[in-house]
Every structure is written in C-alpha cells, then in structure tokens.
Structure 1
Amino acid sequence: MGVSKLSPAISYISFIALYFSFYTVASTSSNSLQDDFINCLHQNTNVDFPLEKTFFTPQSNASLFIEVLKSTAQNQRYLTKSMPKPEFIFKPVHESHVQASIICSKKLGIHHHVRSGGHDYEGLSYVSHIETPFIIIDLSKLRQINVDIEDNSVWVQAGATVGELYYRISEKSKIHGCPAGIYPSLGIGGHITGGAYGSLMRKYGLAADNVLDAKIVDANGKLLDRTAMGEDMFWAIRGGAGGSFGIILSWKINLVPVPQTLTVFTVTKTLDQDAGFKILSKWQQVADKLVEELFLRVFFTIAGNNENKTVAMSYIGQFLGDKGNLMEVMNKGFPELGLSMKDCIEMNWIESIMYSSGFSTTTPPPPEVLLQAKSPIGEVYFKAKSDFAKEPIPILGLKGMIKKFLEENAALMIWTPYGGMMDKNP
C-alpha cells in the first residue's frame, strides 16, 4: 500500500496544489459554447441539473460569477483583472455530470480545468496559462461523506474538505481518525493525488497510503473503480499529482485508531533564546527519529518591528498519548527544547485538529467550525514553494537562511519531520 515518493528526513515549506485540466482548444463564442455544452450534457446524462444552481457566466450575473470563481481561490494574485477568466463555471451535482462534461469537452474541443476546491496555490485549477478560452468544472457540490465505523473506512467525494471529513468521522467515533492533511480548508479530491501528509503521517503514513478504493472518470468519460482501472493506475493516482490520469470523484480511505487522549503543545523561541541555534540544530538531528506517535514541526515567523526585528521559531507538537508519556519522550530525546508540563494540553483527536489548524484554545469554537472550510492563510497575495533535506543544515547555512528570511516584510516557513512510517513505506 506504499506510494512512490522521496524519503527525506525533513520537508521544508511544504504544500499541496490541487488541480486538474485538459488541454484542448475551443473555437466557438461564449454564448454558443455554453449552449452547445448544455445541449450536449442533456444528451449524455439522465440526471437533471438546474441551470441557476449549476451554471455561472459573466454575461448572466457578473457579480455571482466572480463570487463563485473566488469561492475556493487561495492565492489572490491569480484573481487580478489581468488574469484570464473562464467562459463559464459548471458545478456538477451528480457523478454522471462529470462523465458528460468530459465527453462534451472532447466533442466540442473545449479547454477545461477541474477543481475540487482546496489549496491550489498556483491557480492551476481556475486560471489558464495558455491563450485559449476555457471553462471550469467545479466539484464543490460533490461532497458526500459516508463513514463506516464497522468497516474502519470512509467514502468521501472530491468536493468535500478535510475539515468536513474529520468532523463527520468525529460524529461517529472518538477513537477513529484519518491520516490526511492538517488544515480543514484542504479539498480532499486533489489533496490525495499529491500524497496528502498530515499530523498522523509518522504513525500511519500518508492519506494516499491508506486509500482502499477510488472512483475516477477517465479521458473518455468512463467511470472506473479500483478493479476497473487496474492496480497500476490505482498506484499512480495516489501521489502522481492531479491532471495526469483523470478526474477523481471520490476516495475510500482507511480509518486509523487514535487514543482518547492526545497531547499538544507550542514552545516558541526567538533568536536570542536559541543562541547558536543549539535547539534548532538538535531538532534537525532528532525530529524524524523520535517515537512515531510524536509529530513536531517548526514554524518560522517574523516578530518585532523594524528596530528589533527577529525570527520566532515555534515548536508545535502533537503526541498520541497523555502528557506524562510525552514528557518522558521529550526529556529523553529532546531536552534542549525545555518542554514542561504546563506547556502541554490534553485533548481528544478532533480538538487536536482544531489546535493544529490555529483555532484558539482559550475560547475554542465548536467543532462545527471545521465545516466552514476557511483557509488559515486568508485572502492574500503570496508565493509558496517546498523543498526537502536529508542532512541537517549546518550553522553557517542557518545563519544565511535567517538573514534572508529577515529581509522579507512578511514570511512563513514550516519545517516538517518525516521518519516513522514515512521511512517504512517503499
């Protein structure tokens, strides 16, 4: 059940982009293009699709069209007026609509993109990078989730978010979890096509490692499950990136056991408090080697003003167990951090999801907030990249990195350790 991937100790500034697109050329006008597409859809599906709820065009209602276009866009740099906009947006309400969309796009020669609605930082699911008209197939109405505790599995449609998935699991059980992403605004469809790592990956691997089945529409509009697509294609879609093999409609994911009590903590150190990078250097040496129940990342942010600007390094941890056992692990493997009992907060799994997502612990909102799919980044203009390292960065390299980091007005860097199950899967 392994996924082909790099096996570094640490991932630096990691993210997953969600997208799917076919590159064909459209040659008709906007109105006739839409009319031809709608007529073709009617010919290839028996399931009705109310136009006012499924089709959005700048001609019919410009403000609503822009609202729908922006609804799941993370990076505002791809929503500027100069960026190409789709001829129309279609939101399928049934799986057969997606099949028909593929058939009709090929028949009419339409360039189209498909988005599941998550962290597409590069705008590949809703912006065309070639000069030709295009449309968007938006899967946000396909978000059904069926949790089967007896089978230890869940079927989740591509338009659902990770937050919705976690919440629906927690409704059924307090001792079952899913090893997918950390942020609730991730769209599950494209998330898993990129592998999908999260806070349980050192214990249970990637979400892609825990996929049991999938439904996908291929380039001919055929609906395939694991048996029909074959094991080679099933292997490829779990980490081979979106836009390569077809449109994911739903995933069947294995549920994993989580304890009733988890422990979380955040310990922040400034540059002055980590003189000589002793703590950060030790983290690089041990983070991927500590017990697989512990997931310990480092967030780098800029703190202070221009006169006393510095870098804050927040060590954010999640441990599958109580704080007593956590303290034993940290005192033995990473005493340099200085973790204390008062830093540790015990909670259940769904509460730990909210903690990792950045929600307040002093006045925590109800778990239903996970259904809102709000991005932790917010509506900003940004550029994100990721890289990997198999060896610790030496002190000289850390100094250069921090110097460059301080040149930015606003920046975020995240270091994520692998190890555990991530080293065991081929």
Structure 2
Amino acid sequence: MEENTKFKKIRMPTCNSLFATPYSMPLRIVMVGHVDHGKSTLLGRLLYDTHSLPEETRKSIYAIGEGFEFSSLLDVFREEQAQNITIETTQISVRTALRDYVMIDAPGHREFLKNMITGASSAVVAILLIDVTEGIKEQTRGHARLLSVLGIRKIIIAINKMDRVDYSQEVFKTIMIQVTALLLEFGLFAQEIIPMVATQGINVVISNQKKMLWYQGMTLLKAMEAIETPLPAKEGPLRLVVQDVYCLKECSVVVGRIESGVLHIGEEIIFWPGGQRACVRSFESWTGSKADFTLSAEAGEAVALTLEISKGKHSVNPFVEYTDLVLMRGQIASHALQSPSVGKKLVARIFWCDLEPLRLQHSVTLKLGTQSVQGKMISISPVFDNAAQMSIKNFPQNFISHQEVVDAEFLLEEPIAYDPYDVIESTGRFALAVGKRLRGGGIVLHAGE
C-alpha cells in the first residue's frame, strides 16, 4: 500500500494528449460491464501494456511486481477528474503505433448516457466485459439494451477472469453462446469474443497460448485495431451546434462544433429554431493559429465564427435582408436547402434508467446537443421487455419502468431543432432529465403528428 501511495503522486495521461498527433482521429471506445467484472483492471492493464503511461510510472509498477493492482490506475485518475463536477466518466488516452484511442469508463447507465449525449466524447465502439464466473448479470443486460438504443453497433466482448475456471474452453463456449443470444435479442452482434485474464494481461495486448492453446483468435488490442475509424460526416448536410454566442459591436461570434457537413467563408447559414440568417465572415482563433487563413471547416471541428450582418451590394447575398441577430446557445445552423427538422412534437425510442417510473404527462427535460427544453411524454407505443423474452406488454400503459425501452411521443414547450437518428446521429440522440438529474435517453425516430 505504501508503494501505491507514492504512485498516486504521478500524473496520469489524459485524452488531451491525443491531439499532439493531428493527422489521425482517435477512436472513442466506451467500456461497459457489470460492477466488479474488471473494467478498471482491464483499462489499467491496457495502459501499461501499450506503454501509454509515462516511463517513470511504468517503472514504479514494475518495481511493485505481481502484487500491483491495475485498477488503482483508474482510481487515481478518477480522483483527479473529481475536481471537475461536470465529468462523470473517466476518459484516458491509449496510444499505439497504429492509432490513438480514447477509452471511456462509464460507471453506470446515467454516466454512460451523459457521455453519449455530449457530442465531443461520444463513443462509436463498445467493449462489453463479462466475468466468466458470473456470466450475464442485470447490468450486462441493461448495457446491451442501451447500446442498441443509442445505435452503437461495433461491439467487442471480453470474457474476463478465465484463470478462475482453469482456462476452460467449455465454460468459455457456454458464456459465448449466452452473450451472442443476448446481443441478437437487441439486433446486435459481436465483432470479436475474447477470453482473457486482465490481471495477468493475457489476451489484452499479448496472447498467451500456453494457458489457452484452444484459442487462436485476436487479442483485445488487435480487435480494436481491426475496427475502422469512422470518417467525419463531411458529406452530409451542414449542422453546426452552437455552444456560445458573443455579441460584439460590429459582428457576432458564434462558438460551436460542426457535427456534419462543411462550412466555407462567405456562405449564408440559418440558425434553428428561429430562422435567423447570417453570412460567415471569418474563422477566429484565440491562439494565433492558422484560423486566420482558414477558408473552411468540416465535421468534427470546433469553430469560432465571425458573422457579418450586412445589406446592399456588398452583401454576400444582396437579395437577403439582414437584421440584428439574436442568437443563443442551443441553436443548430444549417444551409438554406438542407435544414434540420424543427417542432414541438417528436417520436423517439427511449431507454429509462431510473427506479422511479416516467409517467405520461409528467414534466421532463429533453437535452439534445446544447438545447434543453421542457416537455412531457404524451403517448407510449408497445414496450419490448428483455426480461419477458421481448414480449409486448398489455396496453394502454401510462408509465415506463426501470430499464424499459419504448417508442414514445413527446410534446415540448418550445420548438427544438433535430434530425432523425438514421439521418444524422449526433443531432438525433438526446438525454432525459428530471430536475437536475439524468434519468434516461434515446434517439429521434421522426416528427410527431
């Protein structure tokens, strides 16, 4: 324990270090699994075996020897992140010769939902960890259900603690069959199913065929490397999610993230809801970087725009009359011919993770992008319940229970800008809150009637 106390003084790597390599987009992977199935140990071991830790830290671990608990790496990092109360998931960079990764450890369903709804840290791959001695547990089922709702289709299954069943191939096959059936219930399948021992590093980065001669498949790192990095959606319609607006004397500066499409200087854009129009005069920078010479920005980039309010022959579009802009956080900017949906009614597939049911006509806050709008659920469609073998419950139903998935219609107090999830993922998923507490989330299917 004394060595671990000294170890806590060593600074941990953060996901900010990834951007020292600007030529590759990091692959964002969320680690999920039932409590005590070994998520923290696996993440700590992955950091160590990929040499993603500072060399001084690796030497300290080596000196401690086999008694070192790799889960303590994550405990140290959570203590550092606890100073920022807005962060509820641990995000750590893993760097290899092939690719950079951001590994996201979400302790529970609420933290997982919050992470997925906040755009910059959204994962596209999941590692679902299962203790081979316990098999599929309640949180395992809940996470599989949630992966389906949020549209995460690239899943790696890690069957951990194989040493506790004497590396038995038969036990592994039994769990493999069970988890494959579970995923199929939600329309999912595994990219790889890997037997491992996280504490010893077996099949994490390096295989150990002496222990499991019967397994000839990939290690966890090889499975991660085999997944293609998704390209930013620059070919799609423009979607700029507004984070902040600064109103200056002669112009407005809008700060946000481009979730889809490409934006060029001189283009006219429209802000939704509201329909305010403006032209992009320049891309701004507070660091003296290349922004002064940038003529365009695309999906995946955070930007600061100077908007021009002009009239007459010097306007980029002289046929459009510009008035004073009243822009605000939460709006979504688009080009004129490819606007998002805007309205007070929408139909969504939602996952409810609170023990207290969500009832019809009960006030709830819908958070999409940087928008936050009060509303209520006005109807529920058939509920598919995994515990009841996906059977349809009796209707009419006036509430949603813990860990249920439903299709529901919402009526909002104010219009909201959105896209169906199958059109643009990032502007088609949302969180649900009651008061200040996150209770659920989901994806937009289509506009309400």
TM-score by length of 2: 0.26
Higher relative contact order (CA 8 A, sep 6+): 1
From the two aligned structures, give the one with the greater helix fraction.
1
Larger radius of gyration between Structure 1 and Structure 2: 2
Q: Of Structure 1 and Structure 2, which has the larger fraction of its residues in strand?
A: 2
What is the TM-score with the length of structure 1 in the denominator? 0.27
